[in-house]
């Protein structure tokens, strides 16, 4: 009799554990008043956890500038590919986001190799930079994964390709005003 009860207990335990659903990833975001769904490559909760030193300052800086300068060290082919993916993901979200906010999001990309600066494919003198999004990748100076504002420069850095993508999503979430999971 005790064996039968024990077997029924284990069957019930197995059944209950099979019914428990794993926490699903959240990769979509809807902003109130926007008639679109923003898509993310990773769980938004992971990106929210990326550290930042000045959420409000970053958001305000991006909103107040007419043109956001984007700068990166172009000496690493691997990082250049990572930066391309990150910038595409950020731009695809923020272009739509700002359209709903009644603002055109414009940016100027610059890169440098050593002391030589480039605007697209042309060599230029080092530009005078205002508000700048400066990318640091695993091979070009990243020593952590974060999004930090220092003076007029927003440093977006990641120690791997995945971490760069998470930091890029964190930057987009900051601009969208998403601070915590409960907003998602």
Tell me, yes or no, whether 13 lies in a domain: no
Q: Is the pLDDT of residue 9 over 80?
A: no
Lookup result for tokens 């999001």: 105
User: Residues 148, 54: contact at Cβ < 8 Å?
Assistant: yes
Residue 19 pLDDT: 46
CATH number at residue 92: 3.30.379
**pLDDT per position as a tens digit, 60-89:** 999 999 999 999 999 999 999 999 999 999
Looking at the predicted structure, is the pLDDT value of residue 6 above 70?
Answer: no
7 found inside a domain: no
pLDDT at 156 over 80: yes
Phi then psi dihedrals of residue 171, to 5 deg = -60, -50
- The answer as to whether 54 is a domain residue is yes
Quick one: residue 56, left, alpha or beta (phi over 0 = left, psi -120 to 50 = alpha)?
alpha
What is the pLDDT, as a whole number, of residue 124? 97
Q: What is the pTM of this model?
A: 0.87
In a domain, 78, yes or no: yes
| Residue 140 included in any domain | yes
Residue 20 lies in a domain: no
Domain count, the chain: 1
Residue 104 covered by a domain: yes
């Amino acid at each position: 009799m005790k064996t039968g009860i024990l077997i029924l207990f284990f069957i019930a335990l197995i059944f209950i554990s099979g019914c428990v659903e794993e926490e699903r990833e959240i990769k979509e975001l809807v902003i109130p008043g926007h008639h679109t769904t923003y898509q993310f490559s990773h769980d938004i909760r992971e990106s929210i956890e990326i550290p930042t030193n000045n959420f409000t300052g970053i958001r305000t800086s991006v909103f107040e500038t007419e043109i956001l300068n984007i700068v990166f060290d172009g000496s690493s082919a691997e990082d250049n590919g990572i930066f391309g993916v990150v910038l595409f993901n950020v731009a695809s979200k923020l272009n739509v986001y700002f359209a709903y906010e009644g603002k055109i999001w414009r940016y100027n990309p610059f890169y440098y190799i050593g002391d030589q600066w480039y605007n697209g494919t042309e060599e230029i003198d080092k530009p005078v930079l205002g508000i700048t999004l400066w990318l640091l990748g695993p091979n070009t100076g990243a020593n952590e994964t974060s999004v930090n504002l220092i003076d007029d420069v927003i440093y977006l850095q990641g120690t791997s390709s995945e971490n760069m993508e998470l930091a890029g999503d964190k930057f987009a979430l900051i601009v969208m005003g998403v601070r915590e999971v409960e907003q998602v």
